[in-house]
Amino acid sequence: MQKEEMNLEEIALAHSLTLEEFENIKEILGRDPNYVEIGIFSAMWSEHCSYKSSKKYLNGFPTKAPWVIQGPGENAGVIDIGDGYAAVFKMESHNHPSFIEPYQGAATGVGGILRDVFTMGARPIANMNSIRFAGIEGDSEIAQKHRFLLRGVVAGIGGYGNCMGVPTIGGETTFEECYAGNNLVNAFTLGLAKSDEIFLGLAEGVGNPVMYVGSKTGRDGLGGAVMSSASFTEDSESKRPTVQVGDPFTEKLLLEACLELFKEDLIIGIQDMGAAGLTSSSFEMAGRSESGMIMHLDKVPAREEGMTPYDFMLSESQERMLICAKKGSEQKIIDIFEKWELDVAVIGEVTNTGNMELFWHGEKCAEVPVQPVSEQAPILDRPVAKPAYLNGIEEIDMSKEFSNQIAFDKLFGDMEVVDKSWVYNQYDSMVQTNTIKGPGSLDGSSIRIKETGKALAMSADCNTRLCYINPELGAAAAVMESGRNVAMTGAVPKAITDCLNFGNPQNPEVMWQFAQSCEGIKSACKELNTPVIGGNVSLYNETNGVGVFPTPSIAMVGVNEDANKVLPSALQEDGNFLYILGDTKSEFGGSLYMKLMFDKVAGVHPEVDFKKELNLWNTVVEANQEGLLKAAKDVNVGGIAVALAKMAVVGNRGVEAAISLEEDRDVFSETLSRAIVEVSPENSEKLEKLCEKKGMVYSKLGLVGGGKISINDIYKDLDSARDTYFNKFKRVIEQDL
């Protein structure tokens, strides 16, 4: 089992363990570890699995509310949505694999998050994604590379999600040069379950059998968890073997088999084999239950000849689950999985020793205490330091003037703003026939819950420029933005899952960004009453010393009591009035206007006011419940001008608007906590009264109608604007095909 050409210390270092960790392992075991044991510790103590750099800052997240059934620590979080039903959801990253091999990296990211959800006993009903790349315009090497990555990632997301029959109903695609060496791929899945039929990853009851189900185990993905816990260098291509290979058709069979299994009273717990494969699933199940486990690795179904215990424990082959079954139910479980033409095998049993005992053809090949591996991984208190780039970042000279027309043309044609139908048309958004508000509809997405007549709304958001100039306020703003998009559908925001993407934690400046972002999320979730019910941390998003902007992606889920009252965000009817809710100030820090007109990501972060934000949500939700609104859209990137223009082009209706502002360019200001609403003339007075009752600042913007977009001194023919909005992205992404 030992690698004779290397000594143990060298083997440990090659597995990304530190010498200090290696000494700790020897102390835990009371002896030298063998090769298999080193592999186990390296995977479970990797950043990806143990959160050793981030755990310190995650502990303070608000995680409880009357509607929270399951918070962080399980495969996915669960909230009560009424009528005996629960929403199960989570977001995770597959960043490193998607940079190395974009199709399989993104596909297996989708597969993994789907398994996390249906492992809990839920049928997946909606997917979203948040994907980020460097600029794709032009002929530079980076632009060409990122067009290739984007095409591969989109094909992978669509290829897997479509085969699974789960609609992809929303998401975001953004561009910043900081992602040149590390594109980000964050996948989200939401499932529906009975609120009293949630399954957890437990392994308890001495003598209960441990069963393996799903695909056979191969050597694909070996070292994946460790790879995802390291920065890239020039040789990242050599890491291609660490990327898993997915098979969505097998996963579809696994989904249906698991849902059939859940209808019977046959199991104690179940866990997806994600990062670190059989190692993580077995240790986590035993760790949560404070039990032990015996596993016979020669009984694990194998895809390849000559596989070793090390291979079986560390493989990240896809479409596999570990089950703790009730003793005596083995044959019934075997029958279910064989019916679905899946591999199934009894490979071990639960013990009370507190140890993981691994056997290979009757001989013990490893024995490791569970708790130190799964529940007591090192928690690091890494040094933090405020980044040097923040010195003077707020002092920006904006005295140079541009006409609003020139600025509008530039902003409205930017890749971040234009429609991404080229992307989302590759995703099936209508399968299962419950999608009410899908991709391209602006703001949050909504799906019908047929069983209850309600709707669930969801949105994934993060403005990374805001996070760059002020990580704490930027992360808070991401929670606000995601909640605001949900509220714009008429739903009450209930809870978030997050995916925290940052650079190298060994850099004190990155750890400072991370710590600050966590504080921002804590404050926002506490004040907005939207607890964190799960999430993921992805560190080491850095290549050759260049890290990504702080990117705490936030996915918010909300409940609309009436599926027939889901608000659109596009303009609906000529002659209707438009109102802006909320104050507009001259706030350009981290704005798209600043980036495009002054070539800077800098300035003062817009004001963060949770009371104003919550009041906006409540006002829009109440106005919608009273039937006062025809449409609602939040104001974010590009300000009022871009928000109104988007509403116009997606609704294919002109708009005439005028607003009195401090400065002319404030029409592009990115002040937070604002929305544009469309109201029929007969309801305008009622809306104004509601706003006054709630202390909501409002002003009339203008009217829907006409064949042009007219906003103060900005004029654009509607057809011309629609051509830019709907066709520009396609022209860019396909330019070298």
Q: Please identify every residue annotated as catalytic.
A: 48, 94
Match 């090390």 to its residue by tokens.
310
SS3 614: helix
Measured between alpha carbons, how far is 626 from 96 in angstroms, rounded to an integer? 47
Closest CA to 134 of 460, 541, 439: 541
Give 272-293 as a DSSP string. Answer: E--TTHHHHHHHHHHHHHT-EE
The one-letter amino acid code at 102 reads P
For residues 620 and 667, the answer to whether their CB atoms sit within 8 Å is: no
For residues 11 and 35, the answer to whether their CB atoms sit within 8 Å is: yes
Measured between alpha carbons, how far is 563 from 454 in angstroms, rounded to an integer? 5
Residue-wise over 434-473: b if at least 16 C-beta within 10 A, else e? bbbbbbbbbbbbbbbbeebebbbbbbbbbbbbbbbbbbbb
SS3 639: helix
Give 122-151 as a DSSP string. Answer: -EEEEEEEEEEES---SSSHHHHHHHHHHH
> How long, in residues, is the chain?
737
Match 């750890």 to its residue by tokens.
511
Q: 381: which 2 tokens?
A: 């208190």
Measured between alpha carbons, how far is 502 from 548 in angstroms, rounded to an integer? 6
CA distances from 510 to 280, 390, 414, 467, 553 (A): 27, 12, 29, 12, 16
Rg of the chain over all Cα atoms, to the nearest angstrom: 26
Number of H helices, E strands in the chain: 24, 28
Closest CA to 313 of 270, 367, 269, 351: 367
For residue 554, the cross-strand partners are: 461, 498
Match 């960004």 to its residue by tokens.
513
CA distances from 15 to 223, 226, 230, 534 (A): 8, 7, 11, 28
DSSP annotation of 114 = H
Q: For the sheet containing 551-560, what is the strand order?
A: 435-437, 445-449, 454-461, 551-560, 492-501, 532-538
For residues 86 and 454, the answer to whether their CB atoms sit within 8 Å is: no
Cα torsion 620, 621, 622, 626 to 10°: value is 100
For residues 518 and 650, the answer to whether their CB atoms sit within 8 Å is: no
For residues 528 and 483, the answer to whether their CB atoms sit within 8 Å is: yes
Measured between alpha carbons, how far is 625 from 546 in angstroms, rounded to an integer? 48
**φ, ψ dihedrals at 14, nearest 5°:** -65, -20
Measured between alpha carbons, how far is 443 from 569 in angstroms, rounded to an integer? 7
For residue 92, the cross-strand partners are: 187
The one-letter amino acid code at 483 reads G
For residues 528 and 520, the answer to whether their CB atoms sit within 8 Å is: no
Give 515-561 as a DSSP string. Answer: HHHHHHHHHHHHHHT--EEEEEEE---EETTEEPPPEEEEEEEEEES
**Helix or strand run (H / E) with residue 701:** strand 698-704
The one-letter amino acid code at 230 reads A
